[in-house]
Structure 1
């Protein structure tokens, strides 16, 4: 706490007021103190004070991405069920690809003396975990993607294999001009793009970079606009592979607006995909199993499992429903 006070240029009592939420502190001063806390990696072990000597925490921290994404909702549901069965409560937090928010959230969860952490890591460097977790040594399991600069158990989906599967399916139906919409290039969509390129290469098809569209934010609206531009271009694609469920929604919306006959394969299943006039072909995996595996691994580590870190990769599978089987013109 003394280091925080020195860095923020305030008295110890001011840091105490900010940390404990008591007294009155000017907003500008509180911001300086909180910034210093984030930079130093200080955590207030508020739950530690409530635990009796020898008593262990029965709480797990779960740090996810955008909770409006059904992927994370399914993952969280499964992890919470496994944790509850083992007698653990779950503290849920979200960072949504923001390194600063992620670092602060990790610090706060460790400060609350969680027994372990399940983290969907962002694209940044996670060497900071050595600093913020150096004293407590809380077990960590990464899920959906590995983390740069940190070693721990990780549970993944075969994104590259799924991307190759989706693209090969379109090739097998006669398509050669296959576009791909890529959400901001974090680990998962980057691997899906790699699978797309591998399928083209193995089939002797030269990739047309004009058909590789990397979006800035990965929203449905962006995907709608990008698909509209592709389909109204002088040399439009005959098929599109969309790398997330949000992007698939945009592709379908644009193709309907243009009354375009286009083959579509999306990555990640979504509600009512099989109920649309032309059911949507998707590559998917068992997201709930992803959450279950991560939670079981973490609980094993909490219970003293000290074997080398595991890298678990769950398979992807293709569900052919209709949009991916449209033949090339």
Structure 2
């Protein structure tokens, strides 16, 4: 499998290096397990002659040469963790060159893969329009605002489509690399993941910090504060809207636009976050915790935790042992 990693100025060091290390290990173990040539031919390419990482290190990129397109193109994230940094970066001249090159590779049959902030560059090309995708969870409101035609689900770690695959935040670069290795050999991916002590993750939902997302919009942030004060009570959209001096319809629309979910769904997220905190930091039993977050019994809370986090109460408590 021929893989070209498109390295842009100010690339996120960890994302790039973890992908390189994963493929290097995969080639090492494939030679031991299967013999023959390495399974992955990985090259670093750039639209500039000199590229520096976010930590100021010079990355040895090759110019993009004419010839057959690679099987896969990977776009790592940039070291731009906020909208204020990312939006100007997307307008840079090298980004415009990169978008044209990504479209050219895609037209020639290459599959496109991106993780974390790298997913923004794929979205800029329009290739994700009408398709499902994930991205770095803390920039999901910005992604949703800029690319309304993309079916975003930031709770997922990996989202494959017909044009390639998108992955979630930061260490999603490793999940993406292991996913590509698994396509070549599930056994090899298992060896690499064990060697790196990397658990296979399907969700980034357990890592999402709800109030961080709420900060993207003043009304949603006020709703988040109100919701935390009323977790023990049954949710009422009318009560929430009245307390915030807005209409139920306006609150519904703002939550959908910023968070991609209804006020009730976000209220449930906050309940899950609070319950998870109590499971980790208190000796309360599940019935008492359920009462703290507004449920009549522990069974309902158990179901909600399993749905949202993919883990049961026993698993969540065991994480701290």
- State whether TM-score is above 0.5: no
Structure holding more strand per residue: 1
Larger radius of gyration: 1
Structure holding more helix per residue: 2
- The structure whose RCO (Cα within 8 Å, separation 6+) is larger is 1
